[in-house]
A and B are shown apart, each in its own frame.
Chain A
Amino acid sequence: MAQPRARIRLPLTWLGVVPFFVFVGLFLLLPTLYIVVGAFRSPEGGFTFGNILALNTPTILSAYWVSIKIAFWSSLIGCAVGFAMAAAVTVGAGPRWVKNPLLTFSGVASNFAGVPLAFAFIATIGPAGIITLYLRHEFGINLRLMGFNLLSTLGLVITYLFFQIPLMILIITPALEGLKREWKEAASILGATSFQYWRMVAFPILFPSILGTMALLFANAFGAVATAIALTGPSLNIAPILLYAQIRGDVLGSPNLGYALAFGMIVITGLANALYIVLRARSERWLK
């Protein structure tokens, strides 16, 4: 048996991706890992669940809970409105020429987040905003007396909707366009009404996409820091603002408790994103 005469070459192709892995290792994975490990480390350096258990204080629990509420409602309403708008211009009776401008605008609006977005809403429906004053002077409607305050949970939900709805439109439009005309025709030949087609054919096909996108929107709102800080200052007790204050000035009085707080945020956004990935894979069975 003749030995192959080829020289033995060291496998060197992996060298090409070394810069990438070194970079993400140093500036993405290692910093995150440091926080995660810190969450389970006692001040003396040993392993402990104490930091996680110490999160169980009224302030921290309410911070998480308010954050979850804001993220939940803004993602739910964002999904519903975004879906309705996208459906109106793709499969509904809305004007088709609106679709491309709407998608372009959505691209802009979904990236118009952070500090300027908060300013826009303060100038509009804040205490001295254009619409607030207009309603008071022209119609005698005092939003503040009616219990509306922009610097609150509801105010944050309304503000977040400005990037949540466009994000939903951007993600769900391709899915809506993937609905085949034949499905609708087949349903109507079998005698289904438009409502029945939606309830029994289109919606079940789209449901994983819708739920998955909602999970993505949830994570998106949960981690948002800049908009919340610019809107409410450090006063509102939500998880990202509490973490921000902790990093700046150790308001919790324990660095390891800060790690645990951050770890909790990773867990929540991680779960939401895992749900998104699973559901997206499922939706691709029908929509390709």
Chain B
Amino acid sequence: MTRLWSWGALLIGIAFFLMPLYGMTEFSLKMRRGEYSFDAYATVLADPRFQATFGYSVLMAVLTILCGVLLVVPTAFWVRLKLPGLRPWVEFITLLPLVIPSIVVVFGYIRLYNTSSWLPLTGSVTGTNILLMFGYTVLALPYMYRAVDTGLRTIDVATLTEAAQSLGAGWVTILARVILPNVLGAVLSGAFLTFAIVIGEFTMAALLDRPAFGPYMQLLGANRAYEPAALAVIAFAITWACMGLIQLVTRFSKHNRVAR
């Protein structure tokens, strides 16, 4: 009986997961009538708009990761070291982006930072790009903060800081050369997850009217038949690669730590 439902649940679930994966792969290969071909991929990859939007989103992802690390690592470190009473508050705030739908946040941006406001970020292209990067940093905040905070938990922050201070290190040195290398695995985990989220993000980019990969995919989906399936396969591969890298990093950072 137990055996029956265990296998039943597993098989039904796995069949459900495989169905769209099989469907999109098969569909993406059927552009040429009567035979399998990579025509859909070739068309997508050769599309200059694909290259432009994909490049834009990769750049955005990298900038978002940098911004997130610069914001989260010092804050998480400082809160752990000096202001532990503030921790529940910071934790609560970093979870808010999971509560407030991103469409509401970007709605606020559009109204708050329009051309007639005190900080007219949406008035210029650079300003809008920066606003989008900040928006992505907000989206990544829950994952980034939790990853870094978990990483900090495994090291003795206070002792390491005191040791570094005794040797004459300043705060920047402590952060960059003592804390960051020790939580690098956690930071990279958060970074890859951020990358996976930012690369295909649609809502914020579309509403801020930036030429990102997500809106491009949506546009292609409305006009073409086979190329969207190829894009889905590519996007799935990217997500898979990011998750694989996270596992790799986690395993690696476990190995180089001394067992206690």
Contact check, A219 vs B99: say whether CB atoms are below 8 A apart. Answer: yes
Q: How many angstroms between the C-alpha atoms of A20 and B228 in the bound complex?
A: 39
Q: What 0/1 readout, one digit per residue, does chain B (77-117) give for beta carbons within 8 Å of chain A? A: 01100110010001001101111111111111111100000
Is B71 an interface residue when CB atoms closer than 8 A count as contact? yes
The closest CB in chain A to the CB of B95 belongs to A273
The reply to whether A225 and B203 form a contact with Cβ atoms under 8 Å apart is: yes
Residues 235-270 (chain A) with a chain B CB within 8 angstroms? 240, 243-244, 247-248, 255, 258, 262, 265-266, 269-270
Question: B residues within 8 A CB of A98?
Answer: 10
With both beta carbons as reference points, the residue of chain A lying nearest to B197 in the complex is identified as A111
> Shortest CB–CB separation between residue A57 and chain B, in angstroms?
20
A-B contact pairs, 24 of them (CB 8 A): A16-B78, A35-B111, A81-B13, A84-B13, A88-B5, A88-B6, A88-B9, A88-B10, A92-B9, A94-B10, A112-B239, A114-B214, A116-B236, A120-B20, A120-B24, A122-B221, A123-B229, A125-B19, A131-B19, A219-B98, A226-B214, A240-B103, A266-B104, A273-B99
Give A82 to B17 CA distance when docked, in angstroms.
Answer: 12
Give the bracket for the number of chain A residues in contact with chain B: 35 or more
Mark A residues whose CB is within 8 Å of B. Answer: 13-14, 16-17, 19-20, 23-24, 26-35, 38, 81-82, 84-85, 87-89, 92-94, 98, 104-105, 107-109, 111-112, 114-125, 128-131, 161-162, 165, 194, 219, 222-223, 225-226, 229-230, 233, 240, 243-244, 247-248, 255, 258, 262, 265-266, 269-270, 273
Residues of B within 8 A of A (CB): 2-3, 5-7, 9-10, 12-13, 16-17, 19-24, 26-28, 71-72, 74-75, 78-79, 82-83, 86, 90, 93-94, 96-112, 119, 134-135, 137-138, 141, 193, 196-197, 200-203, 207, 214, 217-218, 221-222, 225, 228-229, 231-232, 234-236, 239-240, 242-243, 246-247
Which one, B12, B134, B247, contacts A104 given CB within 8 A? Answer: B247
Pair B74/A16 contact, Cβ less than 8 Å: yes
A23 engages B109 (CB within 8 Å): no
Given contacts A111-B243, A266-B101, contact A225 B23 (CB under 8 A): no
Q: Are B102's CB and A223's CB within 8 A? A: yes
Tell me, in angstroms, the Cα distance from A225 to B103 when the chains sit together. Answer: 8
Are B71 and A124 interface neighbours, CB within 8 A? no
Q: Which residues of B contact A14 (CB under 8 A)?
A: 83
Task: Give the 4 A-B CB pairs with smallest separation, nearest first.
Answer: A31-B108, A124-B23, A223-B101, A84-B9
**C-alpha gap A32/B102 in the complex (Å):** 10
Q: A108-B239, A116-B232 known; A19 and B74 CB under 8 Å?
A: yes
Q: Which residues of A contact B102 (CB under 8 A)?
A: 223, 225
Report chain B residues within 8 Å CB of A222: 101
Asked if residues B2 and A93 are in contact (CB atoms below 8 Å), the reply is: yes
Given contacts A85-B13, A98-B10, A115-B217, A19 and B27 within 8 Å (CB-CB): no
Say whether A194 contacts B2, CB under 8 Å.
yes
Given A35, A84, A225, A243, which contacts B108 in the complex, CB threshold below 8 Å? A35
The answer to whether A270 and B20 touch across the interface, beta carbons within 8 angstroms, is no
Of A89, A112, A117, which is within 8 A of B10 by CB? Answer: A89
A53-B51 Cα distance, complex, nearest whole Å? 47
Q: Provide the residues of chain B in CB contact with A24, threshold 8 Å.
A: 93-94, 96, 138, 141
Task: Output the nearest chain B residue to A166 by Cβ-Cβ distance.
Answer: B17
Tell me the smallest distance from the CB of A124 to a CB of chain B, in Å.
Answer: 3
Q: Which of B110, B111, B134 contacts A27 (CB 8 A)?
A: B134
- Other-chain residue from A87, A124, A265 in contact with B24 (beta carbon distance below 8 A): A124
Given the contacts A93-B6, A219-B99, A117 and B27 also touching, CB distance less than 8 Å: no
Assess whether A27 is in contact with B109, with CB atoms less than 8 Å apart: yes
